[in-house]
Structure 1
Amino acid sequence: MMKSVFFTITFVLFLSLPTLSLSQTCNKDDEKVLFKIKKAFGNPYHLASWQKTDDCCQWYCVECDANSGRIIALTIFSGNISGQIPVEVGDLPYLQTLVLRKLTNLTGEIPSAIAKLTHLTSLRLSWTNLSGPVPSFLSKLTNLDFLDLSFNDLTGSIPPELATLTKLNDLHLDRNKLTGPIPESFGKFTGNVPNLYLSHNQLTGSVPKSLGYLNFTTIDFSRNKLTGDFSMFFGTHKTIQYADFSRNKFAFNLSEVVFPASLTWLDFNHNKIYGSLPATLTELNFQNLNVSYNRMCGQIPQGGNLQTFDNMSYFHNRCLCGSPLPACT
């Protein structure tokens, strides 16, 4: 009798508890926006899981916040998708991550609707056929810590307004068709000092001296048409680790440049740099070193790991000599 009463009370209490969902239900407003995005892309097979029969938090390429059910990430990668970026993307107000990557039939310009996504921390529009300028309105995305617009067909100059993104850790504008100079404002990042990837463009002019006031970790300016001097990135108190200035038109005397102990990757092949290699290079632990195709002279400093690189790292200079090149005479 006591057992029967116990189970009856337990059952009644169980029925009185609120129903608990095993997973957060997708917000219906966000679901409507996703269907509009799918339609704008021509209902591709890549988004076949986007069906009303399933909760949109379970759809492929979509991530929801566990508590609110709002869409916080849209990651569409390596799909057979054609068309332009739908303006409806800007109607996902809680989006933190937007990735449209390796979509080679994605064309057109970056829509201004993206500026509405003020919660974005990561924006990656890369390996597509996007064209037009790098929009200055991206500076409105003040929470961005990662911006990648690489491997596109973007043209025009780099907007100086990007330097107002105080949380930015990485800026990838490489592998485009950008022209003009590196903005002077890039020496005035007021928050984080981002890793700068500007390689494989058509940038011209000298590197603004103001960039020397900051302490960068990674710089890749390779394969442009830049001139002048890049030594402002180095010095005793700098902590730069990776520096690639190869295949430009830099021309200055390297002899007195002081390289910091943090430097592990240095490449400035195919420039017009002259002078000698500083002896202090022997104190560094290089993973990569390439100074070939310049106008330097003198003996390669002996010691450290400079002789672990073969002659291809040093050849085609005016009169460099010593191991691994032929002996000085």
Structure 2
Amino acid sequence: MFCKAEIVLSLLSLLLLSPLTLSEKCNPQDKKVLLQIKKDFNNPYLLSSWDPSTGCCGWYSIECDEKTNRVITLDISDNASPDFTNFSGHIPPSVGDLPYLETLTFHKLPYLTGPIQPAIAKLKNLKYLFIEYTNVSGPIPSFLAELKNLELLHLSTNNLSGPIPSSLSQLPKLESLHLDRNKLTGPIPESFGSFKKPGPNIILSHNQLSGPIPASLGQLDPDNIDLSRNKLEGDASVLFGSKKKTQTLDISRNLLSFDFSKVDFPKQSLIWLDINHNKIYGELPVTLTEVENLQQFNVSYNKLCGEIPQGGTGRLQDRFDEYAYLHNKCLCGAPLPKCNYASDI
């Protein structure tokens, strides 16, 4: 019994000490790079836990691989939302010297400025790149296409400008592309149709994109597409289809113009459809009544005409109020006023 008790105590001691032991382990080269990053950012308070006398795997915003002790995550985020006014400057080139990095995040850092650092192209193991809610500016660099392991590319809510690089379609593992809330201009690249199917979620809203929606996008079938609040023109019907698995489709507040009566919809997957503030014409397709799980729906401020379809599992008339239909050419029927065909002639 005494031997068993000793064994149990020894195991408990190991369990209690192991987190500390792991945090003290740190690859010397990675630690040197992290301290350089801290210096490049002028030793901000946010990185005060980066103490040279302690192991870097226990530092704030750092995660190491449990087996190799190499740094795999660098996540510098102001999640608590205090005003870290001393965290300022550009993304330093030293971030490219963490060869095993899989996740790189700069989030909610309003004083982070300058371009996306070219040294990021050296991070060949990078899977997740998040630069969001900063004042990073300049173009979206084409060198991001060199990061062949990239799965998530989120560059939302910055000051990025210029065109979207067509080379991004060369990312074979990309599952999510968020470029919304920037100052991007030019067209959506035709090359985006060559993303590996079903294609990444494409979120490009709140920019100044113009031109037509590439027909090639019809070859993709991502869960989510948001092209809202741009200056896109022409036909968006390629984004629709009864065999697609689309869950959310938002093309609102553009200059799009096409016959809505000729499009079809995923009957089970679609939960969000917003086409408001365009120049879309025609009637509401009867097939809309067969969309079972629609939760958000808005076709207002277009040139639609005819009676709102009744019945079906979609229950358009019961589920959505008049604000979903207002300001169309001659759309009528509940929840709008009753159709008066005599006066429409």
Q: TM-score range by the shorter chain?
A: over 0.9
What's the TM-score, normalizing by structure 2?
0.88
Equivalent position of 2:256 in the other structure: 250
Whether 2:312 is the aligned partner of 1:306: answer: no
Q: Equivalent pairs: percent with the same residue?
A: 57
Counterpart mapping for 1:1-329 below 5 A: 22-23=21-22, 25-78=25-78, 79-80=84-85, 81-190=87-196, 193-261=199-267, 262-284=269-291, 285-303=293-311, 304-307=314-317, 308-329=319-340
Question: Does the 8 Å contact 2:260/2:282 carry over to 1?
Answer: yes
Q: CA deviation at 1:53?
A: 2.2
Q: CA deviation at 1:213?
A: 1.5
User: Counterparts of 2:90 and 2:241 in 1: how far apart (Å)?
Assistant: 46
Matched to 1:247, the amino acid is R
User: Counterparts of 2:222 and 2:331 in 1: how far apart (Å)?
Assistant: 30
Number of matched residues?
313
User: Counterparts of 1:23 and 1:189 in 2: how far apart (Å)?
Assistant: 40
User: Counterparts of 1:317 and 1:109 in 2: how far apart (Å)?
Assistant: 43
Give secondary structure in 1 for the equivalent of 2:232: strand
Give secondary structure in 2 for the equivalent of 1:223: coil
Q: CA deviation at 1:215?
A: 1.5
The structure number with the bigger radius of gyration is: 1
User: CA 1:192–1:295 in structure 2 vs 1: closer, same or farther (change >3 Å)?
Assistant: closer
Structure 1 stretches (4+) deviating beyond 2 angstroms?
A: none
Give secondary structure in 2 for the equivalent of 1:216: coil
What's the TM-score, normalizing by structure 1?
0.92
Matched to 1:276, the amino acid is E
Question: Does the 8 Å contact 1:166/1:191 carry over to 2?
Answer: no
Unaligned runs of 5+ in 1: 7-19
Unaligned runs of 5+ in 2: 4-17, 79-83, 341-345
User: Counterparts of 2:223 and 2:236 in 1: how far apart (Å)?
Assistant: 14
Question: Does the 8 Å contact 1:167/1:191 carry over to 2?
Answer: no
Q: CA deviation at 1:191?
A: 5.3
Question: Does the 8 Å contact 2:161/2:184 carry over to 1?
Answer: yes
Matched to 1:213, the amino acid is Q
Matched to 1:328, the amino acid is C
Across the aligned residues of Structure 1 and Structure 2, the Cα RMSD in angstroms comes to 1.6
